[in-house]
Chains A and B, each alone.
Chain A
Amino acid sequence: MSRQEMSGRNTSGQNAARTTLCAAIEGFTFHGGSGPALRGVEIEITPGSLTAVLGGSGSGKSTLGRLLAAWLAGGRDGVLRGTLQLAAGGRQGEGCPLVFSGTGDDPRIDSAAWADHVGYVPQDAAAMLSAVRGTVEEELAFGLENRGTARSEMTRIVAETARRTGLTALLERDPATLSGGELRRLAIGCAIVTGPGVLILDEPLASLDPAGERTVMELVRDVRGRGAAVVVLSQHADGLTRQATHWLVLEDGAATAAGPPDRLLAGGSLASSGVVVGGPPVLPAAGAGSRPVAAAAPAAASGPAPAPGLPPALQLEGVSFGFDANDPGSPLLLKNINLDVRPGEIVAVTGPNGAGKSTLLRLFNGLLRPLRGNVRVAGKGIAGVPTGVVAERLGLLFQHPHDQLFERTVQREVIFGLERLFGQHASAKAAAALAEVGLDASGGVHPHELSGSGQRLLALATVLAREPAVLALDEPTVALDAHGLDRLTAAITAAAGRGAAVVLVTHDLAFARAHAHRTVELKDGALVGC
């Protein structure tokens, strides 16, 4: 391929080449995998279309997306049987299909050449970045540098891509300092910088606030407007996936339904898939709560609120906090917070990104210490008590299960340290906690080989097994599919029923309203609506 041709196709400012991508995957098994990750999946992606691949956590969506984008390669990453056909230029039939039979003679895809036509953006946008470029503009240029694009051309494309992704004001920033939404747009920018005709987005709206969701949805519209096809992989039938022209539903690696969204929604083919189905389509301009929730049941589902007479299990008295403790004049992040949570009560704390919700949670168990005021857990003050000791009475669960899990099997993970608390009852307690989150059949699996939803539930089980007086959860709904949400709801309701106080921090207003006895909002450093 000559240099002229390469830069000739680099015209991401203009319309994308009309590209059709067809795949028929008979089976794909990872090296070392216990069974096929995908079997019997067919998909056809036509120019300008929006396809949604829906499925619960671990259903094979990401594997399919990565195979389509040649991020995963047959032979190198696993055994692939099936065909892939990419026709750039719009005429179908052009470009002969690549046939994989799972043997050594299979074609080896040049993933860089393939990526010129098919771009993929992973759910973890940070993993898309090279991590060796100090500014947003250099990160965007990385793919162009590698193909030898001339400097002047490169500057033009970077500026144009930055304009399309709304990153123009951030070009000089260090990518490590970007917010979640900005990072997602940068990752998409890195994928479209070479002007691919097909763009595959893995959970593009996950953990974005409404403003972030809006910008990503506008970007999808812009990409489609230029003739490119977009594929969205998601476990939510939400505002974005409902705009799709075609749905493909995956369950356990196999396609269980395909067709137009309306028909599939009406036909109930999503019921067992684990896809989270929300209310009516949400308009991009909608405010908070655009993330639909499973089974929006009334608060009664959580059981009756506990009698007010009991002493609080968690008590915050006049707590103030700021990160700059040495400067008394600096603004406080949290001001004079009072909060009582009684045994058996479920309290949800909501608020916009950056309001200090996670900081508030870290004050509960002493990871952060208040500048003023007192925190009492189960009646005892925690000032001067190490976090590891407070943890016996208060279980705190963070967003990323990866940080907490370290054992070789699910079973060992839950039982770790339980002997010290429960002696010979440890294994019974562990088994009960695993059953509660629905992982009792997965005891021998490596924690990292569980689905994203499964990992979060396992982390929840490790905390539940210790039977703390207070359960504090940071964004528990993120990354859970419909089955996971059901398990989570059941587990926290059961814990509250046993007399534990539950505090959950969430941006998901609908979930909070549905499952908490009380919802308070953290706003401008104060709790509103206690």
Chain B
Amino acid sequence: MSQPSLTLPTPGQQEGRNRRLLELLGAAAIAATFLFLVLTQPADIAGGLGSVSALVALGGFLLGAALLIVGVLPTLPTSTVVLMPVALVLNIVLGQLMGTSGLPFYFDAIGTVLIAVLAGPAAGAATGALSSIVWSFINPTVLPFAAGAALIGFLAGTAARYGLFRRFYLAPVAGFATGILAGVVSAPIAAFVFGGTSGAGTGAIVSAFRAMGDTLLAAITKQALISDPMDKAIVFAIAAMLVYALPRRTTFQFPFVRRCNVLAGKKPVQKDS
């Protein structure tokens, strides 16, 4: 070729299919890990330390998160990739502040939800997983929660796709539902990898359930069902507030916002080509 091409070819089908496969494998790894943990849990906790459970939880969830990242990242437009570090800093800074406050909330997903609303479920999932990985450079204990964080991003993006961010009051509702699922998925990590939760607020709630005779996983799951839905409802509301503060031209940079008509009162002027 003497004259290199200045234009891009239409994207190949094969490439896209391979990426899609990685995403599905990642999701499957996370789902299988969760099922394994829930099914084998009673025997393990009676035996004392869940070493195999811990290994499976760490390995399965991290593998799933890694596959998601590798599958999703190359498909994202650069404008989304460049926004991810901003989202991650928001997650980490607010999460660190909340972690030291003693309240049973986390606030560590505002950036993830922001990306999910602007760029869709896949981008949200990758942001969530990346957030845990990058945050672990400062606080290693969040690393095993990568799969839960990815799930939050995925669900937030799905909520946005089906119009739950078009009404301001629906966003916290979607957050509440997301919190239930995310809490249930993250509880086995807290139980099997760490044997409990960090932080005074969450610890007190788990202790209360344990005093009533619950198993550790059940107690932590119940604690998560108290903290997570509330936390995610607030986080979704804040993210919605931020998205609506953005100028139209900025939100419309994102094909997902245009194509799925994510935001209220922001109908496209012209048909997207």
Which residues in A have some Cβ–Cβ distance to B below 8 Å?
1-2, 5, 29-34, 75-77, 79, 86, 88, 95, 98, 102-104, 106-110, 113-114, 116-117, 406, 408, 446-449
Contact = CB atoms under 8 A, between A and B. Distances in A.
Contact of B272 (A31, A108, A109, A114): A31
B212 interface: no
Given A29-B270, A79-B273, A104-B273, A449 B247 contact: yes
A270 to B, nearest CB: 28
Among A30, A32, A88, A103, the one with the most B-chain Cβ atoms within 10 Å of its Cβ is A32
B245 A102 contact: no
Contact of A86 (B6, B248, B249): B6
B238 to A, nearest CB: 14
A449 B248 contact: yes
B252 interface: yes
A116 B255 CA distance: 27
A113 B6 contact: yes
14 contacts: A1-B1, A1-B4, A5-B1, A29-B269, A31-B272, A32-B252, A32-B269, A86-B6, A88-B3, A109-B8, A113-B4, A113-B5, A447-B247, A449-B247
Among B247, B266, B270, B273, the one with the most A-chain Cβ atoms within 10 Å of its Cβ is B273
The 3 closest A-B pairs by CB, nearest first: A32-B252, A31-B252, A446-B247
A1 B250 CA distance: 35
Interface in B221-260: 244-245, 247-253, 255, 258
B249 A31 contact: yes
Nearest to B85: A131
A214 B3 CA distance: 37
Contact of B270 (A77, A79, A104): A79
Nearest to A73: B8
Nearest to A32: B252
A32 B266 CA distance: 8
Contacts of A114: 6
Nearest to B7: A107
A463 B129 CA distance: 44
A104 B255 CA distance: 14
Contacts of A33: 249, 269
Q: Determine the interface band of chain B, counting residues with CB < 8 A from chain A.
A: 20 to 34
B4 A102 contact: no
A110 B4 CA distance: 10
Contacts of B244: 408
A449 B249 contact: yes
Contacts of B74: none
B42 interface: no
A141 to B, nearest CB: 19
Nearest to A132: B85
B140 interface: no
A5 B270 CA distance: 42
Among B1, B7, B249, B255, the one with the most A-chain Cβ atoms within 10 Å of its Cβ is B249
Contacts of A77: 253
B245 to A, nearest CB: 6
A84 B199 CA distance: 60
Contacts of B16: none
B102 interface: no
A268 B107 CA distance: 59
Contacts, number: 70
A32 B248 contact: yes
A110 B268 contact: no
A154 B83 CA distance: 29
B263 to A, nearest CB: 10
A320 B9 CA distance: 64
Contacts of A75: 273
A30 B248 CA distance: 10
A110 B6 contact: yes
Contacts of A108: 7-8
A445 to B, nearest CB: 9
Contacts of B4: 1, 5, 113, 116
Contacts of B1: 1-2, 5
A318 to B, nearest CB: 41
Given A109-B8, A113-B5, A103 B245 contact: no
Interface string B27-48: 0000000000000000000000
Nearest to A94: B3
A100 to B, nearest CB: 10
B12 to A, nearest CB: 14
A448 B249 CA distance: 9
Given A5-B4, A109-B6, A446-B247, 11 more contacts: A1-B1, A1-B4, A31-B249, A32-B251, A95-B3, A108-B8, A109-B7, A110-B8, A408-B245, A449-B247, A449-B249
Contact of A406 (B245, B249, B253, B273): B245
A30 B272 CA distance: 11
A198 to B, nearest CB: 13
Among A31, A86, A98, A113, the one with the most B-chain Cβ atoms within 10 Å of its Cβ is A31
B81 to A, nearest CB: 11
B116 to A, nearest CB: 20
A22 to B, nearest CB: 14
Contacts of B249: 30-33, 449
B254 to A, nearest CB: 9
A98 B7 contact: yes
Contacts of B248: 32, 446, 449
A73 to B, nearest CB: 10
Nearest to A102: B273
B7 A110 contact: yes
A86 B5 CA distance: 11
Interface string B186-201: 0000000000000000
Contacts of B250: 448
Interface in B99-138: none
Contacts of A1: 1, 4
A400 B253 CA distance: 23
Nearest to B9: A108
A448 B253 contact: no
Contacts of B268: 31-32
Contacts of B77: 76
A113 B251 CA distance: 27
B269 A34 contact: yes
Nearest to A88: B3
Contacts of B247: 446-449
Contacts of B272: 31
A268 to B, nearest CB: 34
Contacts of A104: 273
A5 B2 CA distance: 8
A75 B248 CA distance: 17
Contacts of B273: 75, 79, 102-104, 106
Nearest to B272: A31
Contacts of B6: 86, 95, 98, 109-110, 113-114, 117
B178 to A, nearest CB: 26
A105 B252 CA distance: 21
Contacts of B270: 29, 31, 79
A31 B3 contact: no
Nearest to A101: B273
B255 to A, nearest CB: 8
